[in-house]
Amino acid sequence: MRKFFQEIKADLKFKTAGPGQRLSEPSRAPREKPKAEAAPKPRQAPTDEAQMAAAAALARLELKPKAKAPVCSQESIRNQVRKELMAEAAASEKGLPEEEKELEEGAAAPSVSGVYFICPLTGDVVRKDKKEKHLREAIQAYFSVDPVAASIMEIHTFNKDREKVRVGVETMAKYLDNIYLHPEEEKYRKIKLQNKVFQERISCLEGTHRFFQAVGFETKTLPVPGQDPSEEQEEFYVLGEEMLARLEELRAAKEQLLSSEPLRARLDRQLRLFQPSAQAAHFELPDDFYNLSAEEIRREQRLRTEAVEKASMLRTRAMREKEEQREMRKYNYTLLRVRFPDGYILQGTFYARESVSVLYNFVREALRDDWLPFELLGPGGLKLTDENLAFNECGLVPSALLSLCWDAAVMADIEAAAEQQPQSPLRPELLARVQTL
């Protein structure tokens, strides 16, 4: 097939030779001078349609992967595949199973596969993009256990405007208070669903209707008080009379409604312990760590590259600090590693706005004896003495390698008192799961 296309290209060149040029056929040996008595008959040139078809076929052939492509071609193909996989993952929530999402050969493996959370209801560990869906499913399942508590979780968890939640919850509590304080008054056991206050403060919140149903209200169509019963009727929530014997349950539900907080999944630290490694300061972070989309991150990187020359201009210290703070706000999470004097590396995931004290506690929980005094040194050897500072205020985002230093006097006493070779200060269960970085 390729030979056929080469011949066509030769014919095209033969046809388009300019005036005074010798017509030659490329890729052939030099012709002998034609004999006068046997001049070669020119071949019929291909039609325009044939030329267009040949050009299109050649283009298709060029796009097909070669069996033995050069190294640069393989690398470009890998880069293209990587871009397409990122685009597909962003466009679809389903994606591929984790075991199928392997990086192409030669690509750097991420230091962590993503940001994960622990569901407070199920204890399951779920990825960040699946967190809300899992919480909804867990709360829905909890309705079979405690419908009142489950509906309260919905109200506080899935309505993001905290001020609207506060106003709505206080109004609902007022309805219940009226019933509890005046059980003999039938009017307090009826709530008109089309009431303006009910519509603006309560009905607009997710989970409120399920709460009223859970505490014993039923939907009924009744005449509007003060109007002719023959006129149009409206819907009401009506508390059944049997609930008058269980007013304490109603009061308990009201207190629970007022005191509850949003259900929050807890950040999974993804604690890891690594063998001593020269790669300790090398980090490859997934997109989960950034407060930007993948496309926004690439645009930021491009703009930063284009602004290299502009960055050389003189700037005041205040200008530099303001720009640094703006950069720090781009990160939601940070991956921190703490290198121990014996070389072991402790790794964990944190919120970018958590305080340094959280890291100190994280390290203490990994020690065999949590009372051992130590200090943490940031990049450049700077001591992290102010434990109230946030990680993004200390420049420890989106990742950082820190060093741990023991109190020399205390460690000397421990080593002197040891009858055998000193043990590692890390917990045995961690040492049993040590990994290679």
pLDDT in tens, 318-341: 655 555 555 555 788 999 999 999
Lookup result for tokens 């308990």: 252
Spatial CB neighbours of 187, under 8 Å, sequence gap ≥ 6? 225
Q: What angle, 0 to 180 degrees and rounded to 10, lies between the N-to-C axes of helices 162-181 and 247-259?
A: 160
pTM, 2 dp = 0.64
Out of 3.90.1170.40, 3.30.360.10, 3.30.2320.50, 3.10.20.90, select the CATH number for domain 328-436. 3.10.20.90
CA-to-CA separations, 65 to 69, 77, 216, in angstroms, rounded = 7, 9, 68
User: Taking a C-beta distance cutoff of 8 angstroms, is the pair 112, 335 a contact?
Assistant: yes
Instruction: Report H helices in 215-312.
Output: 247-259, 294-306
> Do 328-436 and 116-266 have the same topology in CATH?
no
CATH topology (fold) of 116-266: Methane Monooxygenase Hydroxylase; Chain G, domain 1 (1.20.58)
Q: What angle, 0 to 180 degrees and rounded to 10, lies between the N-to-C axes of helices 162-181 and 147-158?
A: 150
Where are the chain's structural domains?
A: 116-266, 328-436
Per-residue pLDDT of the chain (437 residues; tens, 9 = 90+): 555 545 545 554 444 444 444 444 444 444 444 444 445 455 555 565 555 555 555 555 444 444 443 444 445 444 444 454 455 445 444 443 444 344 344 445 677 889 999 999 999 999 999 999 999 999 999 999 999 999 999 999 999 999 999 999 999 999 999 999 999 999 999 999 999 999 999 999 999 999 999 999 999 998 876 666 667 788 999 998 888 899 999 999 999 999 999 999 999 999 999 999 999 999 988 888 876 656 656 666 666 666 655 555 555 666 555 555 555 557 889 999 999 999 999 999 999 999 999 999 999 999 999 999 999 999 988 899 999 999 988 889 999 999 999 988 887 777 777 666 667 899 999 999 999 98
Helix or strand or coil: residue 266? strand
pLDDT in tens, 236-285: 999 988 888 999 999 999 999 999 999 999 999 999 999 999 999 999 88
Q: Determine the residue type at 381.
A: G
CA-to-CA separations, 179 to 176, 190, 217, 255, in angstroms, rounded = 5, 9, 12, 14
Give the closest residue to 407 by CA, choosing from 434, 421, 425, 387. Answer: 425
Pairwise CA distance, residues 173 & 254, whole Å: 6
Give the closest residue to 256 by CA, choosing from 122, 121, 153, 120. Answer: 153
Task: Report pLDDT for 303.
Answer: 61
